Amino acid sequence: MINIKTKIWELLRKKEVSLAMIVDREGEILWHRGRDIKGRNIDDGKGFPRSCLKQSIKNGKALVEEDVAVAAEVKSLTESALILNIKNLMIMPITTDFFLYLDSGVRESFSDKDREVFQVLGELLGKSIDQIREKQDDCGDITGTSKEAAKIRELVLKYSLEEDPVLVRGETGTGKNHIAELIHRYSGRKGNFVTINTPGIPENLFESEMFGHKKGAFTDARNDKKGLVEEARGGTLFFDEIAEVPPTFQAKLLRFIETKKYFVLGGTEEKTADVRIVAATNRELTRAIKKRQFREDLYYRMQVLEINIPPLRERKQDIRALVTKEQGCLKGKEMGPGFREALENHDWPGNIRELKSVLKRAAILAGDTINGEDVKNIINQCSPHSSFNKKGEIVERILEEMKAGKNFWEAVRKPFLDRDINRSQAKEIIRKGLMEAGGRYMSLLPVFNLGADEYHKFMSFLSDHQLK
């Protein structure tokens, strides 16, 4: 879609189109090119004729107008030219829910031949959107009949037409990565979908991983290295847990989002990369802002387009559709009495990831028919609250792993964020570590294989997740 929109705008510019917009039935401006306008919705927008757009959307019909006066508070006009007299405009429905707006600004009116070209371009856009909609049945982790699932599918469609960053919020296991991949797939971008495992990159290497480095840029830079931005050129860069981007790098990330420009570490030539940014988080970013762990301006830039994925416990009517979608996990086994009821009576703290795990485990452990009791037993075995885990075996195992050399981030933080261990288990690990460290948090660092420079990061993590 991104390539189609770019090519269409190139053609429209040759036809002296001053402003092109795609607007949905709710009046949201999904895409625009040309002169400056204000607002993301018709109601609060400026620089285009709102009444004409509303009329076309209300009637669901094409509209052609001439000599339309518009209040145009735009950068390209002087204070003495706040009224823009549009010579000719054209609005056409390209699907039942999307409209294409074009105008000539103050230039000469469009010819009949121009209008024919615009009609063809509108039809091409409409077909592209319809193709995306046909693929919506293949939305994997957002399968379901609930209004929440329908809303997410609609936002994925809308935001794939956009080029601004997208922020995906949701608990661990809700399918944030999958949503990001869908936005990339439906956008039509030809470049790669590249994931940045943000928590797994040390702070001192973050800029090098993102932008790449030149040989000799730092002590261990023995060769030139291509950054993730370069790998995602023409595609999408997905930040898995945006809250973990180091504060020291956030200003550079904001600049890249705004300008698409960056410097390779150790390089002197400014580079440009057309990369779409999608990010996910399971944390409350406003709390991180208050603690000065996340830049407020970066938050507002990322939050322009937002998708909130409700936990599975809040949309249990989707479980049946998800089971049907993931029926391959059952390896052909039958669903017996009480199977669906047992699934729907569980709260799924691990969300869709946990559901898939239970289905796969049931296929291995149960007989040819999987009944409700089988499901209950498997859920209990998989749960962090099961009797197996209450014996403290997982706590002891993790402590042994850290004695063998694993650090806290690998052994505790990641399993905790992935819901493989619960809060009480994490607190017990910290309590036992403190006993060994003489009760001092600073002395915990060598026990948990952390450097002295990680103390504040460690304490912030404990505070954010109420583990102290």
Which of the pair, 103 or 188, is modelled with greater confidence?
A: 103
The arithmetic mean of pLDDT across residues 109-129, rounded, is 83
Domain 2-134 shares a fold with domain 312-383: no
Residue 132 pLDDT: 64
Q: Does residue 391 carry a pLDDT above 50?
A: no
Q: Who wins on pLDDT, 76 or 236?
A: 236
Q: Is it the case that residue 259 has pLDDT exceeding 90?
A: yes
What is the average pLDDT across 96-104?
90
> Distance between CA atoms of 148 and 163, rounded to whole angstroms?
24
Task: Report the chain's mean pLDDT, rounded to a whole number.
Answer: 85
| Residue 135: per-residue pLDDT | 56
- pLDDT for 280: 95
What pLDDT is attached to residue 369? 92
The ranges assigned to domains in the chain are 2-134, 141-309, 312-383, 392-464
Top CATH class of 312-383 equals: mainly alpha
Give 309's pLDDT tier (boundaries 50, 70, 90): very high
pLDDT one-digit tens code per residue, 318-345: 999 899 888 888 988 899 999 999 999 8
Share of the chain above pLDDT 70, in %: 91
The answer to whether 179 touches 171, Cβ cutoff 8 Å, is no
pTM above 0.75, yes or no: no
Confidence of residue 78 (pLDDT cuts 50, 70, 90): very low
What would the mean pLDDT of 91-110 be, rounded to a whole number? Answer: 86
Return the CATH architecture of domain 141-309.
3-Layer(aba) Sandwich (3.40)
Supply the pLDDT for residue 387: 41
Distance CA 111, CA 102 (A): 13
- At 131 the pLDDT is 66
pLDDT digits (tens, 9 = 90+) for 162-183: 888 999 999 888 889 999 999 9
Predicted pLDDT of residue 389? 45
Buried b (16+ CB within 10 A) or exposed e, 63-78: bebeebebebebeebe
Could you tell me which of 282, 288, 236 has the C-alpha nearest to residue 460? 288
CATH fold for the domain made of 2-134: Beta-Lactamase (3.30.450)
Q: Using H for helix, E for strand and C for coil, what is the string for the chain?
A: CHHHHHHHHHHHHHCCCCEEEEEECCCEEEEEEECCCECCECCCCECCCHHHHHHHHHHCCCEEEEEEEEECCCCCCCHHHCEEEEEEEEEEECCCCEEEEEECCCCCCCCHHHHHHHHHHHHHHHHHHHHHHHHHHHCHHHCCCCHHHHHHHHHHHHHHHCCCCEEEEECCCCCHHHHHHHHHHHHCCCCCEEEEEHHHCCHHHHHHHHHEECCCCCCCCCCCEECHHHHCCCCEEEEECHHHCCHHHHHHHHHHHHHCEEECECCCCEEECCCEEEEEECCCHHHHHHCCCCCHHHHHHHCCEEEEECCHHHCHHHHHHHHHHCHHHHCCCEECCCHHHHHHCCCCCCHHHHHHHHHHHHHHHCCCEECHHHHHHHHHHHCCCCHHHHCCHHHHHHHHHHHCCCCHHHHHHHHHHCCCCCHHHHHHHHHHHHHHCCCCCCCHHHHCCCCHHHHHHHHHHHHHCCCC
Inform me whether the pLDDT recorded for 301 exceeds 90. yes
Residue 138 pLDDT exceeds 70: no
Query: What are the tokens at 200?
Result: 């797994």
Name the more confident of 424 and 309: 309
Res 139: pLDDT: 46
When pLDDT is cut at 50, 70 and 90, the band that residue 134 belongs to is low
Overall average pLDDT of the 13-17 stretch? 86
User: What pLDDT sits at residue 212?
Assistant: 92
Q: What average pLDDT score do residues 191-208 get? A: 89
